[in-house]
Structure 1
Amino acid sequence: MDSGRRQGGIQQLLAAEQDAQHIVGAARNAKMARLKKAKEEADKEIAEYRAHMEAKFQRKVAESSGDSGANVKRLEEETEAKIQQLKLQAANISHDVVHMLLRHVTSVKN
């Protein structure tokens, strides 16, 4: 009876080992499926984000290139205003500069 019990116990152990292998295999397969699904979802989110950022970039490029005429005009106006300001400053001090130069040229030092 002892050997029968042993045989039964061994059979139970073998059956339990096979069940454990099936459970581990199923868990491994489920884990791989979840990882694959997560990777696909992440790839999809990345593609959507990339498309969103690309569209945003293209809008900025279109805005800046479409505005280039206005930018050039604005820069020309700013430049002209700065030139007029510098001319006015030069006109204000030119009289003093001429007097200073005449004083230095006409003074004699030994």
Structure 2
Amino acid sequence: MEANRGWNGIQLLLAAEQEAQHIVNAARNAKMARLKLAKEEAEKEIAEFRAQMEIEFQRKVAESSGDSGTNVKRLDQETEAKIHHLKTEAARISHDVVQMLLKHVMTMRIFQPLETR
């Protein structure tokens, strides 16, 4: 009977070891399934993000290049407007600038010592 009890104890240990192995395998399989699902979700998010960035990039490219003739024409108009503005301002203040320079030159000439004249 003592041998039976030892044999039953071994059988119980083997059964417990098998059950533990099944639990470990089930946990490993569940972990692998979660990792696979997380990887698939991450790949999906990456694909969506990449698609959004591509759309944004294409929009910016279209805005910047667009119809290059239109952009060139717009830039020419802006440049001409700035040149016209600068010429107008220069014409408006040129007389005052000349008068101011003459005044300063004449003032400096008057204050020079007599020996240097």
Q: How does 1:8-19 map onto structure 2 within 5 Å?
A: 8-19=8-19
TM superposition shift of 1:100? 4.5
19-28 vs 88-97, greater mean Cα deviation:
88-97
Q: Which runs of 5+ in 1 are unaligned?
A: none
Which residue matches 2:42?
Answer: 42
TM-aligned CA distance change 1:87 to 1:13, over 3 Å:
same
Structure 1 CA distance for aligned equivalents of residues 34 and 101 of structure 2: 88
Structure 2 CA distance for aligned equivalents of residues 19 and 102 of structure 1: 107
78-87 vs 62-71, greater mean Cα deviation:
62-71
Deviations 1:70-104 (CA, angstroms, capped at 9, x unpaired)? 33333322222222222222222222334455553
* TM-score, normalised with respect to structure 1: 0.75
1:87 is aligned to 2:93: no
Deviations 1:28-65 (CA, angstroms, capped at 9, x unpaired)? 12211221232123212212321232123112212321
TM-aligned CA distance change 1:55 to 1:10, over 3 Å:
same
8-17 vs 76-85, greater mean Cα deviation:
76-85
- Provide the aligned C-alpha RMSD in A: 2.4
* TM-score, normalised with respect to structure 2: 0.71
Structure 2 CA distance for aligned equivalents of residues 29 and 100 of structure 1: 91
1:27 is aligned to 2:23: no
Structure 2 CA distance for aligned equivalents of residues 74 and 58 of structure 1: 22
Identity value in percent: 72
30-39 vs 67-76, greater mean Cα deviation:
67-76
